[in-house]
Amino acid sequence: MTPADQGLSLAAVRLSSVDLGLSHVLDEAELARASTFRSPALRDAFLAGRIALRLHISALTGDSPGSLEADYFCPTCRSGRGHGIPRYRLPSQSGLLRASLSRSGSWCLSAAALDRRSAGIGVDIENGSAADFDGFPSLVLTENERGQLQRVPPALKARFQTRLWVRKEAVLKALGTGLAKAPSLVDVSGSTPSGLPRTSEPALWSLEDISPASLGLPEDFAASIATWQPRDVLPD
Ligand SMILES: CC(C)(COP(=O)(O)OP(=O)(O)OC[C@H]1O[C@@H](n2cnc3c(N)ncnc32)[C@H](O)[C@@H]1OP(=O)(O)O)[C@@H](O)C(=O)NCCC(=O)NCCS
């Protein structure tokens, strides 16, 4: 199934193409967080990503970007305060719309879960050499993944590592923990992740690589999307 078949919408946007003059659509918490960045480039990337995500949801639902109420939640500190799992309340719909965002270099990828049964969604993008550093396999990979890496031709190893990395980040975002859960505990070599906490086991997971060309991202990027929904809401 494609992401669209699963009620998911994806959009890749060049951060520099986002009109920062639209920062007025962001809320106080978002603007307060933007003001904490010392680097103007990082601040602008933050603002552009948040604006792009609102514009994406707005284009899907017809709600104006400024009417979306951000309700982010961080399971680590048990608060929102503008960080953590992206969730939005919409004037046109009840409940919370779940979303995900990833920035890498001058690009961002946003995702929105239109299917309300979706309990978690995570996307991640990186350029192809992002995970090409000494120690990556021992720090980040499971034993099974390290075994797979050993069978990959040397010229393809960097790309293979980055592909596993974006899969892990997508899963950990969908789970809601981010890197508060050690990525080395989660195996992402298959179409469903394993090693997740017991509480999320009765869930149906999906994990897919996304072709960068299909989203207009540079060819050397790696991108992945993970989603899960409770089994008990699935039709028989
Ligand atoms: C989520 C995380 C893996 C992303 O890191 P990254 O690769 O540097 O950044 P990306 O651009 O790919 O993703 C950033 C986005 O991830 C999302 N995100 C952040 N925390 C998240 C979480 N717990 N669950 C799901 N998504 C999360 C947000 O949309 C964020 O965008 P924002 O900067 O506009 O808020 C990393 O930031 C992380 O592990 N955060 C949680 C760490 C934590 O628990 N901190 C405790 C704070 S009290």
Q: Do residues 113 and 96 lie in contact, with contact meaning Cβ atoms separated by under 8 Å? A: no
Pocket mutation for ligand 1, best pick of 23, 54, 101, 172 (most atoms within 8 Å of C-beta): 101
Q: Do residues 29 and 80 lie in contact, with contact meaning Cβ atoms separated by under 8 Å? A: yes
The pLDDT of residue 197: 74
Output the CA 151–ligand 1 centroid distance in Å. 31
Query: Higher confidence at residue 109 or residue 83?
Result: 109
Output the CA 180–ligand 1 centroid distance in Å. 10
% pLDDT > 90, the chain = 78
Kindly tell me if the per-residue pLDDT of 128 is higher than 90.
Answer: no
Report all structural domains of the chain as residue ranges with CATH numbers, in order of start. Answer: 7-115 (3.90.470.20), 117-236 (3.90.470.20)
Alpha helices in 62-208 (DSSP H): 136-140, 143-150, 157-175
Pairwise CA distance, residues 100 & 11, whole Å: 11
| pTM (whole model) above 0.85 | yes
Name residues contacting ligand 1 (CB within 6 A).
Answer: 46, 49-50, 74, 76-77, 83-86, 101-103, 122, 124, 169, 172-173, 176-180
Kindly tell me if the per-residue pLDDT of 234 is higher than 90.
Answer: no
What residues are paired with 108 via a beta bridge? Answer: 13, 103
Per-residue pLDDT band for 229 (boundaries 50, 70, 90) equals confident
Which residue type, as a one-letter code, is found at position 77?
C
CB contact set of 198 (below 8 Å; sequence gap of 6+) = none
Per-residue pLDDT band for 147 (boundaries 50, 70, 90) equals very high
Output the CA 55–ligand 1 centroid distance in Å. 20
Both structure tokens of 64: 């104006």
The pLDDT of residue 202: 66
Pairwise CA distance, residues 80 & 71, whole Å: 7
